[in-house]
Structure 1
Amino acid sequence: MIRYALLGAVGAVLFILLFAMPHEKFSLKGKIFASLFVILLIFFAGFFERSNDSEAAFRRDLLLKFEQGGNIRCDKFIINSKTFNYEYGTASFVAKDKNHGGDEGLAGVSVDIQSCEARSEK
C-alpha cells in the first residue's frame, strides 16, 4: 500500500515541478503532453505493482501448502514435500533423488511454480 502512496507522491512532485517551469522554457501544450505521459506512466506502474503483488501472494500460498505437507497439482505432476524440494533461486520444484526419499521415476524432473494451479490436491 505504501508503494501506491509513493507513486502518487512522486507524480504530485513531478506535476508541481512541471507547472512551476516558466512558459518560455516549456509551452502549455508541452506541459499538458508531459502531464498525460506522467499520468500514464504512474497508471502502468500501479498496474504492474498490483499484478506483481497478486503473483507473489499466489506463490506464497502455494509454498505454504507445500511446506505444510500438502499436495499441489503442477502440470501433470502432484507435488509434495516427500518427493520434491523447492528451489528458491529458480522458483521451481525439483524431484528428490532416490537416496533422499524420492521416486526413481521422477529423477531429474524440475517443475516451474508458474505451472502450478491454485487448488491443491488431497
Structure 2
Amino acid sequence: MIPSRRPYLTTWAEVVTSLAELDPDDMICFDSGPNSPDDPCLIADTVELEEDEDVPPEAAERGWTTTLIKEELQGVVGNLKGQIPNPDLATTLRAAAHYVDHDAFIELPQPLTE
C-alpha cells in the first residue's frame, strides 16, 4: 500500500507493483538504475517542490538527482506490455533504466516465428 504522505522512501519493486496507486503528480527520485527490485527510491509530490528545486531536499541530501514522473513510468510499462504480454519485474526495471539512460523506450528482440 502506498503511503499518503509524501515524500517517503520505498523500493523499485514497491513502485512497479503499486504504480496505479501513485498520485498523478508523483515523481520517483533515485540515484541510478533502477538495477534491482530492492534499490531504494523516494516518492515525492511534484506540486510540493519549490520553484528552484529539481528534486525534494530528501532526495538531494542523498545525492539523488534522477527522476521519473508517474506518467513517464506508466509509458515505459505500457510500451513494454505492447511488446510482451506479462513482463516480469526484472524486465520492467531494465526498461525503466533504458528509458532513463537513453530517453527512449526499450526495443526487445522479437521472437522468431516459423
**Length-normalised TM-score, structure 2:** 0.28
**Length-normalised TM-score, structure 1:** 0.27
Higher RCO by CA contacts (8 Å cutoff, separation 6 or greater) = 2
Q: Which structure: larger Rg?
A: 1
